[in-house]
Structure 1
Amino acid sequence: MQHIRSEPIPNNVDLESAPGLVRAMSHWQSRFKSWWMERGPSGFQSHEVYLRTAVSVEPDGWARYEHVRMPEYRWGIFLAPSVRERTIGFGDMQGKPVWEEPPEEHRDTLRWLIAMQGDAEPASVEQQRLLGSTCPSLYDLRNLLQVNVEEARHLWGMSYLLLRYFGTEGWNAAEELLDRSSGDTQRPRVLDAFNAPVRDWLHFFMYTAFTDRVGKVQLQAAAESAFDPLARTARFMATEEAHHLFVGETGVGRVLQRTAELMKASPNGSASEAGGIDLPVIQRYLNLWYSLTMDLFGAEMSRKAGAIFASGVKGRPKEAMFEDHCERNRTLRVESWDAAAHTLQHQDVPVRLAMNEVLRGLFTLDCRGVVERWNKVLASQGLQERLQLPSRRFHRQQGLLSSGRFAPDGTPVSEEEWARRKDEWLPTEADEVAVRHVQARAVLARGEMANWIAPPSRGIHGKPLDFEYVRTET
């Protein structure tokens, strides 16, 4: 059996001092490599890619740039630096020392939480595996592959926690992360959004703008955990996650810029006539991914989420900014749909019970800022059209609003009106065919850019836009 050495696998967890853990990680690493080659990025495994690799958590080590073939990428295991005398910052255990080992009474919950986070990481790689064949530029291809290797590194981080701290149950959970596959009918990924196909680059940019933003919120919440190894792992993962959000937000922004340019140049104001993507299509893609990701936070009222907060297992993003860290007395207004009466209902519930809704609200505020920045792109091009963030009621598949039908502005509609107008609000097959048509050809020449997207404002790591971000000659 191949053994893990600290040289090929950067880590700051002293792997070599734990022979049993080394054996477990060695077995898992072998399965991971098979997964990566079978279900990782298709078509570019033998190419050298200008990738950022973390070799330590220090400022001069967490981002090393070099050309490397992805199968040789040095996936590592990193925990952010420990905080001296750190105490639990919320819930019933506030002020007590954090845990270096999972307490027996919280083992099952912690294992479940880590496995859920871990399941999302390989899912995104699987969803995006075919996109390289239609990349709009070497710059974008490199960014896609950078996102993929970092999502895989986050899988390493979660699997390490399972194998290191949770015994046989952790071993089984880590194995299952590689057994499931996005969209598989027999063993799909746990959450629906991670089984949705990502068939084109507009899907990808919306995915990284919205779905990865849920990841940011959840990682920031996990970074407050009383289980210090999880908190430290999540803090470092959040550092890398910022790049994924950048790829999504700037990607959509560049699509909007090019769409505006083509609209202004077209006699009919049509971007699609000139080989671009029309604004209504972009809006429908936005509606889809925002609504899919809203469901990732779970039920509006959840005793489990309240218990997780109360016990210190997981907090809220940037817990220090909240005034009340125990939340024993405050309430939050929660909305639901009464299907029998065909009307909205409201009730005030304890904040602890509505903790998922608290996180959903923070996510919504963040997304509003993103859409405002996209609209500034349209304004800068002299267009009057604007994108809109749909209501939190729109297209919900789970929770207290899922039994109702709502327009993007939140207005209740009948089943008949929904059936008649849903193609106005969500991507149609014709939309996706049109998007795939303009993205049919990969652009692999240095410095060139597909017609449907504007070039970025700058290159990566100070490199020019015509840099050889992916060496296409193998």
Structure 2
Amino acid sequence: MSIDYSQKIPNNVNLSDDRALQRALEHWQPAFLDWWRDMGPDGSHNFDVYLRTAVSVDPSGWAHFEHVKMPDYRWGIFLQPADPERKIHFGEHKGEAAWQDVPGEHRANLRRIIVTQGDTEPASVEQQRHLGLTAPSLYDLRNLFQVNVEEGRHLWAMVYLLHRYFGRDGREEAEALLERRSGDQDNPRILGAFNERTPDWLSFFMFTYFTDRDGKFQLCALAESGFDPLARTTRFMLTEEAHHMFVGESGVSRVIQRTCEVMRERGIEDPEQVRAAGVIDLETIQRYLNFHYSVTIDLFGADQSSNAATFYSAGLKGRFEEGKRADDHVLKGDAYRVLEVRDGRLGEREVPMLNALNEVLRDDYIKDSMGGVARWNKVIEKAGIPFRLTVPHKAFNRKIGTLANVHVSPQGELISEAEWKANERKWLATDEDRAFVASLMGRVVEPGKYANWIAPPAVGINRQPMDFEYVRFN
């Protein structure tokens, strides 16, 4: 299903057949470009960047690569092809035809879901807008910019749904998506993790590994939706999202590889000696991991949620890989185990599964996250260094749900506030850690060269040579 790039707004939804919608989106487009100029990558507007652009929604040949100025990037509206036989396959509407329009009784909840997802997309661009000034290589600078333009494209995906299906309310919500700002005291982004700063490249790699992975799981759940335009939109977004997680996993892996190389070359293990050699010690990487992982698993929401039950039963939002699960996909009599503190101990209890669907999605995410951490450990193991990165317990450093006011160690032990305060600097990245990592950040722009603290990638983007000019500064 090819994309029409001859129009002002590229699309594969026959936008020109709906003149009122086309005019509304063309009215929104200048405000989006103003937002990009104000809040997009700092100082980058005249760079020619080697970007991929979607030319089809067929996964086997969907992307075209060329040097493009980012403000000229052709953001647009791309949905997977419709299946006229598609049925809703979970919840109380199971077996009914998928909805092509918004059912009146679900209008408010669907709008809320779309707005919340849409708000995360410009937020991450805002969080990352200064990173280009300290990129460790042209390869990494290009990857940052690719992630940024695709987050902008994902914003377009949600704005199309708001304009197309929600009338005046949708248009107002689309405008508000450009008015909120990450970290703003008066008008912040909706979700807490998207108001955190991304001040350095280790934070960026952790964010794209852990927090973009939350995006994967949320999009997978929405790709099951009985509202077919949302399902089709998010399925194509997942094609683009995969690269963002690759940037994170490979980025952290390259940081670890370089640290291990220096440790072996110099025969050092002490963190201070490792830092003195100009690379990031493994203990600091662990503290960054603990922070980004714990902040991200809060994004799944409270462990028990009546909203999650409503969204599922109504057919609005499914589970990860809903179709592969061997149950009735209605879940009325099913139970799930969630964590609680009882008699001074951390334990589990059974609750109705419908109310625990946030926890189900969080547990699926945790299993998926552990795979990348295991691959990072293989890099350390191959270097013969006796250190292993670990994923902290899911009750660690939580700020949402029943575990919000509970102090738990990374190993899952319930501890006192005094014990927490005594160990917090050992477990979570400190101001001193962040200042040290920031001290390593310096822009490297010579093709084929890399900052001392990160190893080169195994292969170039689109199989380009190692000294390829991914960004031309003009």
Distance in 2 of aligned mates of 1:6 and 1:76: 11
1:408 alignment counterpart = 410
Partner of 2:286: 283
Post-superposition CA distance 1:306-350 (Å, at most 9, x none): 011011001012111111111111100111235xx5333532111
Give the match for residue 178 of structure 2. 178
The SS at the match of 2:50 is: strand
CA distance in 1, matches of 2:93, 2:6: 36
Q: Which residue matches 1:311?
A: 314
Give the counterpart letter for 2:77 in structure 1. Answer: I
Partners of 1:455 and 1:5 in 2: CA distance: 35
- Seen in structure 2, the aligned counterparts of structure 1 residues 311 and 6 have a Cα distance that, compared at 3 Å, is farther
Q: What secondary structure, in the 3-state scheme, does the structure 1 residue paired with 2:339 have?
A: strand
Deviations 1:184-222 (A, max 9, x none): 000000110000000000000000000000000000010
Deviations 1:24-59, CA, capped at 9 Å, x for gaps: 101111110000000010021110000001132135
Distance in 2 (CA, whole Å) between partners of 1:230 and 1:219 is 10
Q: What is the TM-score with the length of structure 1 in the denominator?
A: 0.97
Tell me the residue number matched to 1:55: 55
The aligned amino acid for 1:334 is V
Letter in structure 1 aligned against 2:469: E
User: SS at 1:336's partner residue?
Assistant: strand
Q: Residues 41-440 of structure 1 correspond to what in structure 2 (within 5 A)?
A: 41-59=41-59, 62-269=62-269, 270-324=273-327, 325-337=329-341, 341-439=343-441
CA distance in structure 2 between the aligned counterparts of 1:13 and 1:6, rounded to whole angstroms: 13
**Are the equivalent residues in 2 in contact too, given 1:266–1:273 (CA < 8 A)?**
no
Q: In 2, are the aligned partners of 1:55 and 1:76 still within 8 Å (CA)?
A: no
> What's the CA shift string for 1:212-241, capped at 9, x where partnerless?
000000000100000000000000000000
More off after superposition, 269-278 vs 286-295 = 269-278
The CA distance in 2 between the partners of 1:45 and 1:444, in whole Å, is 16
Rounded Cα–Cα distance in structure 2 between residues aligned with 1:119 and 1:248: 21
CA offset digits 1:286-309 (Å, max 9, x no partner)? 000000001100111111110110
Please give the alpha-carbon distance, in whole angstroms, between the structure 2 residues aligned to 1:376 and 1:158: 38
| TM-score, reference length from structure 2 | 0.97
Distance 1:309 1:393, change over 3 A: same
Q: Offset of 1:266 from its aligned partner? A: 2.4
Describe the SS at the equivalent of 2:398. coil
| Aligned pairs, number | 467
Contact 2:346 2:413 in 1 (8 A): no
Partner Cα separation in structure 2 for residue 337 and residue 87 of structure 1:
41
Give the Cα–Cα distance (whole angstroms) in 2 for the partners of residues 421 and 349 of structure 1. Answer: 33
Q: Is the 8 A contact 1:6 1:15 kept in 2?
A: no
What CA distance in whole angstroms lies between the structure 1 residues aligned with 2:83 and 2:407?
48
- 8 Å contact from structure 1 (residues 260, 271) kept in 2: no
Q: Which runs of 5+ in 1 are unaligned?
A: none
Shift of the alpha carbon at 1:61?
5.6
CA contact (8 A) 1:56 1:62 kept: yes
Amino acid at match of 1:249: E
SS of 1:41's partner is coil
For residue 185 of structure 2, give the secondary structure of its aligned residue in structure 1. coil
- CA distance in structure 2 between the partners assigned to 1:23 and 1:61 by the alignment: 31
Contact 2:41/2:130 (CA < 8 Å) preserved in 1?
A: yes
Counterpart residue type for residue 143 of structure 1: N
Question: What is the CA deviation profile of residues 424-450 of structure 1, one whole-angstrom value per residue up to 9, with x for unaligned ones?
Answer: 0000111011101111x2000000011
Displacement of 1:389 after TM fit? 0.3
CA distance in 1, matches of 2:434, 2:158: 34
AA matched with 1:312: G
Find the aligned partners of 2:191 and 2:114 in 1 and give their Cα distance: 14
Counterpart for residue 462 of structure 1: 463
Does the 8 Å CA contact 1:13/1:79 hold for their aligned counterparts? yes
Q: Which moved more, 1:54-63 or 1:35-44?
A: 54-63
Residue 452 of structure 1 pairs with residue 456 of structure 2: no
Q: Secondary structure, in 3 states, of the residue corresponding to 2:49?
A: strand
* SS in structure 1 at match of 2:462: coil
Note the C-alpha offset of 1:170: 0.7
Q: Partners of 1:437 and 1:271 in 2: how far apart? A: 14
AA paired with 1:26? E
Give the secondary structure class of the aligned counterpart of 1:67. Answer: strand
1:364 CA displacement = 0.3
Q: Which amino acid aligns with 1:46?
A: N
SS at match of 1:132: helix
SS where residue 178 of structure 2 aligns?
Answer: helix
Deviation at 1:87, TM superposition (A): 0.3
How far off is 1:5 after superposition? 8.4
- Percent of residue pairs bearing the same amino acid type: 53
The one-letter code sitting in structure 1 at the alignment partner of 2:368 is: D
The question of whether the paired residues in 2 share the 8 Å contact of 1:139 and 1:469 is answered with yes
Structure 2 Cα separation of the partners of residues 8 and 167 of structure 1: 21
Greater alpha carbon shift after TM alignment, 329-338 vs 293-302: 329-338
CA distance in structure 1 between the partners assigned to 2:359 and 2:112 by the alignment: 20
Q: Measured at CA, do residues 255 and 428 of structure 1 come closer, stay the same or move farther in structure 2, by a change above 3 Å?
A: same
Instruction: Give 1:461's aligned amino acid.
Output: N
Secondary structure of the 1:49 match is: strand
Distance in 2 separating the partners of 1:39 and 1:73 = 16
**Is the CA contact 1:375–1:386 (under 8 Å) kept in the aligned structure 2?**
yes
Native 8 Å contact 2:447 2:467 kept in 1: yes
2 CA distance for matches of 1:268 and 1:144? 32
Aligned-partner residue type, residue 297 of structure 1: F
2:237 partner amino acid: M
1:378 is displaced (CA, Å) by 0.7
Q: CA deviation at 1:84?
A: 3.5
- AA partner of residue 178 (structure 1): L
- What amino acid does structure 2 have at the position aligned with 1:450? A
CA contact (8 A) 2:9 2:26 kept: no
Tell me the secondary structure at the aligned position of residue 93 of structure 1: coil
Instruction: Give the CA deviation at 1:403.
Output: 1.1
- Does the residue aligned with 1:379 lie in a helix, a strand or coil? helix
- Give how far 1:22 is off: 1.2
